[in-house]
């Protein structure tokens, strides 16, 4: 079953975000949802590398994807991060993932006990499950992904996805 591809971004420079978003759209097709800009103040993990006053944003892509494509998608996003880096420091973080009817999955290059190896240095984690008309956290869900603001964005993406798969029948 095809899934709804989305990317989460962390950045401070809106111009870099715009360029990265355009590069992703050129590679993967039209964006059908873009979230509002959200202050990213949940952790200082990225501040040393990317600076303060970070912003989070999400985009979802119209074309549904096979989950097997996410190894290549993650590698493309890593190359894009490196393209915008300055003296080896990232200026944008791009996290691709997908939503289907049951869950939200993120891809990463970092292993941990709750992540599954997909291949070629890429891991996947189920970050949120969908049950009872809402997304539910796990013990390992990132603090920002636990917020109502994020979950409302993901519910919108899921609603678009459900319309797309209904139309395809």
**Nearest of 100, 97, 106, 96 to residue 76 by alpha carbon:** 96
The HSE-up count of residue 71 (CA atoms within 13 Å, CB side) is 8
- Spans of all domains in the chain: 4-168
Q: Mean pLDDT across the stretch 22-51? A: 94
What does DSSP say about strands 55-61 and 92-99: parallel, antiparallel, or unpaired? unpaired
Task: Show the tokens assigned to 92.
Answer: 């944008």
Dump pLDDT digits (tens) for 62-83: 999 999 999 999 999 999 999 9
pTM: 0.96
In this prediction, residue 138 carries a pLDDT of: 96
Percent of the chain with pLDDT over 90: 93
Question: Chain-wide mean pLDDT for the chain?
Answer: 96
- Which CA distances in Å does 115 have to 7, 80, 112, 122? 18, 23, 5, 10
For residues 161 and 98, give the distance between their C-alpha atoms in angstroms, rounded to a whole number: 10
Instruction: Please count the other Cβ atoms lying within 10 Å of the Cβ belonging to residue 101.
Output: 12
Q: How many CB atoms within 10 Å of residue 40?
A: 22
């Amino acid at each position: 079953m095809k899934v709804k591809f989305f990317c989460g971004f962390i950045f401070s420079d809106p111009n870099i975000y715009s360029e990265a978003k355009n590069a992703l759209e050129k590679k993967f097709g039209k964006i059908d949802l873009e979230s509002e800009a959200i202050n990213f103040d949940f952790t200082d993990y990225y501040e040393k590398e990317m600076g303060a006053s970070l912003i989070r944003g999400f985009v979802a892509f119209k074309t549904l994807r096979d989950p097997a494509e996410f190894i290549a998608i993650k590698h493309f996003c890593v190359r894009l991060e490196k393209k915008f880096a300055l003296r080896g420091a990232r200026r944008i973080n791009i996290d691709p993932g997908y939503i289907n009817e049951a869950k939200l999955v993120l891809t990463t290059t970092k292993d941990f006990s709750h992540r599954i190896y997909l291949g070629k240095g890429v891991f996947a984690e189920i970050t949120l499950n969908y049950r009872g008309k809402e997304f539910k956290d796990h013990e390992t869900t990132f603090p920002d992904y636990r917020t109502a603001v994020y979950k409302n964005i993901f519910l919108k993406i899921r609603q678009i996805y459900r319309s797309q798969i209904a139309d395809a029948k």
